[in-house]
């Protein structure tokens, strides 16, 4: 399992995904290979996938610290912590000054698992931004 | 300091800058080597354990065999005594004494092998837990580094592709607008389809001669003829 086999699989799905989503994959080269996955109709919120020795990490960027209303930071953090368990498959995190949702899969997951993870992550990201927009500028 | 703390400190301390490693690569390599060494020791310990357990089983078999022989000879001695053959009974008793001494030796060997096996099993379990723990810690370090490198690749890609990063709210607005457009299209398509099916139903009714008939030249003529009368 690496980003190229994942890309091949997602591209081969075309309109036949089980999740009703169409994925467009674009590898980003760098010190660590990253796959940028755009979902049809949600190009603004891509999911980034990287594969390490033991896990597959899927990350979607939500918003930057500067987008949070200064007086709402604590309330937002609290809401995120409270939502962390109910939110299916994904968790919140922060990379640098960006808030993210992410899901980690075992390296031995099937392609179906990866596809399911991406669909759920994307749904979570859209819903989280909608629900948390009261905290955002 | 635990790996967890180290990673937290490093991230807080701004090691999240691209290129700056959480724990220097050399330390990671040493850690990896330590894990490999521990795994080698574990393999050796498991091999030793198999050997000791084999010895333990053979000692157990020997103990069983000697016990059986002792009770067998005890039977013989009783039979000799019953027949009043004291000399034979003494000879058998001597044999029993020998057997019992061997039995005691074997029992001792067996106990010592059991003890070693138990100790080795404990050791193997402990080492396995330790290796798993080290692997988990290494995975944390490596994942942190990988995420940092991935992040810098993503950031570089964004800045090079010149695409302006939208705010979360703007992104959501756009996605919702697209979704709305899609929904509207679907609705329009549904509406069109239902209208189509309406007209086709009318056509079918007409073909069957049901419903209001068309005004045609014949029907007009008929009506005029009727007026003439």
Using a CB-CB distance cutoff of 8 angstroms, which residues of chain A are in contact with residue B174?
44
- State pLDDT tens for residues B108-158: 999 999 999 999 999 899 989 989 988 888 888 888 888 888 888 887 776
Residue A21 Cα to chain centre, angstroms: 14
Question: Secondary structure of B162-203 in the HEC alphabet?
Answer: CCCCCCHHHHHHHHHHHHHHHHHHHHHHHHHHHHHHHHHHHH
Q: Please indicate if any CB of chain B lies within 8 Å of the CB of A65.
A: no
Q: Which of chain B's residues have a Cβ under 8 Å away from the Cβ of A32?
A: 146, 149-150, 153
B169/A30 touch (CB, cutoff 8 Å), yes or no: no
Query: B171 and A30: CB-CB below 8 Å?
Result: no
3-class secondary-structure state, position B115: helix
DSSP-based three-state secondary structure for A4: helix
> Over pLDDT 90: what percentage of chain B?
37
Number of domains in chain A: 1
| CATH classification of the domain holding A12 | 3.30.1460.10
Distance between CA atoms of residues B181 and A50, nearest Å: 33
Contact B171 A129 (CB under 8 A): yes
Say if the ipTM goes beyond 0.90: no
pLDDT per residue as tens digits for the range B43-64: 998 999 999 999 999 999 999 9
B183 vs B164, more confident = B183
The structure tokens listed for B131 are: 């290796």
Give the 3-state secondary structure percentages of chain B, helix then strand then coil, rounded to 5. 85, 0, 15
pLDDT digits (tens, 9 = 90+) for A79-94: 999 999 999 999 999 9
Please report residues of A whose CB lies closer than 8 A to that of B151.
Answer: 95-96
pLDDT at site B104: 95
CB-CB under 8 Å, A55 with B174: no
Supply the pTM of this predicted model: 0.70
* Closest listed residue to residue B42, CA positions, set B103, B114, B121: B121
Give tens-digit pLDDT for A49-62. Answer: 999 888 999 999 99
Q: What phi and psi values does residue A59 have, to the nearest 5 degrees? A: -125, 135
Q: Higher pLDDT residue, B123 or B160?
A: B123
Sheet with A91-95: list strands edge to edge: A23-28, A34-39, A47-51, A55-64, A98-106, A91-95
Under the banding of pLDDT at 50, 70 and 90, the label for residue B18 is very low
Q: Which helix (H) or strand (E) holds A47?
A: strand A47-51
CA angle, A57 as apex, A16 and B171 as ends, to 5°? 70
For a pLDDT cut of 70, what percent of chain A falls above it? Answer: 100
How close is the nearest chain A Cα to the Cα of B196, in Å? 27
pLDDT score, position B73: 94
Summarised one tens digit per residue, pLDDT across range A13-37 is 877 788 888 999 989 888 888 999 9
Query: Are the beta carbons of A67 and B169 separated by less than 8 Å?
Result: yes
Per-residue pLDDT at A14: 76
**Angstroms from B23 CA to nearest CA on chain A:** 17
Bridge-based pairing of strands A55-64 and A98-106 is antiparallel
Residues of B within 8 A of A31 (CB-CB) are: 149, 152-153
Binned at pLDDT 50, 70 and 90, residue A69 comes out as very high
Reply yes or no on whether the pLDDT at B229 is more than 80. no
Distance from CA of A12 to the nearest CA of B (A): 24
Q: How far apart are the first and last CA of chain A?
A: 40
What is the structure's pLDDT at B164?
57
Domain range for A48 is 3-135
Q: What is the pLDDT of residues B76-99, one digit of tens each?
A: 999 999 999 999 999 999 999 999
């Amino acid at each position: 399992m690496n980003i190229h086999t994942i890309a091949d699989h997602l591209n081969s799905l075309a309109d036949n995904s089980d999740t009703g989503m169409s994925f467009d994959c674009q590898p980003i080269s760098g010190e660590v290979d990253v796959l940028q996955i755009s979902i049809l109709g949600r190009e603004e919120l891509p999911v980034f996938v990287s594969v390490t020795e033991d896990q597959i990490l899927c990350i979607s960027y939500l918003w930057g610290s500067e987008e949070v209303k200064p007086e709402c930071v604590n309330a937002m953090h609290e809401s995120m912590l409270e939502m962390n368990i109910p939110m299916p498959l994904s968790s919140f995190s922060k990379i640098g000054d960006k808030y993210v949702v992410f899901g980690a899969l075992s390296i031995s997951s099937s392609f179906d698992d990866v596809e399911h993870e991406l669909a759920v992550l994307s749904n979570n990201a859209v819903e989280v931004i909608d629900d948390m927009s009261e905290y955002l500028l | 300091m635990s790996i967890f703390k180290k990673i937290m400190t490093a991230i807080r301390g701004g090691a999240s800058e691209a290129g700056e490693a959480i724990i220097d690569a050399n330390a990671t390599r040493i850690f990896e080597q330590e894990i490999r060494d521990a795994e080698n020791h574990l393999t050796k310990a498991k091999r030793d354990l198999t050997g000791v357990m084999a010895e333990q089983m053979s000692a157990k078999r020997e103990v069983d065999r000697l016990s059986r022989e002792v009770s067998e000879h005890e039977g013989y001695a009783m039979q000799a005594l019953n027949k009043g053959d004291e000399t034979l009974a003494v000879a058998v008793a001597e044999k029993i004494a020998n057997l019992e001494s061997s039995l005691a030796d074997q029992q001792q060997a067996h106990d010592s092998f059991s003890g070693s096996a138990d100790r080795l099993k404990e050791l193997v379990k402990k080492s396995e837990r330790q290796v798993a723990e080290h692997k988990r810690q290494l995975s944390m370090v490596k994942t942190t580094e990988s995420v940092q490198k991935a992040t810098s690749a993503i950031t570089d890609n964004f800045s090079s592709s010149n695409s302006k990063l939208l705010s979360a709210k703007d992104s959501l607005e756009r996605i919702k607008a697209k979704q709305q457009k899609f929904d509207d299209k679907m609705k329009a398509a549904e509406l069109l389809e239902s209208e189509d099916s309406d007209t086709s139903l009318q056509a079918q009714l007409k073909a069957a001669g049901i419903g209001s008939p068309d005004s045609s030249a014949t029907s007009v003529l008929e009506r005029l003829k009727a007026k003439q009368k």
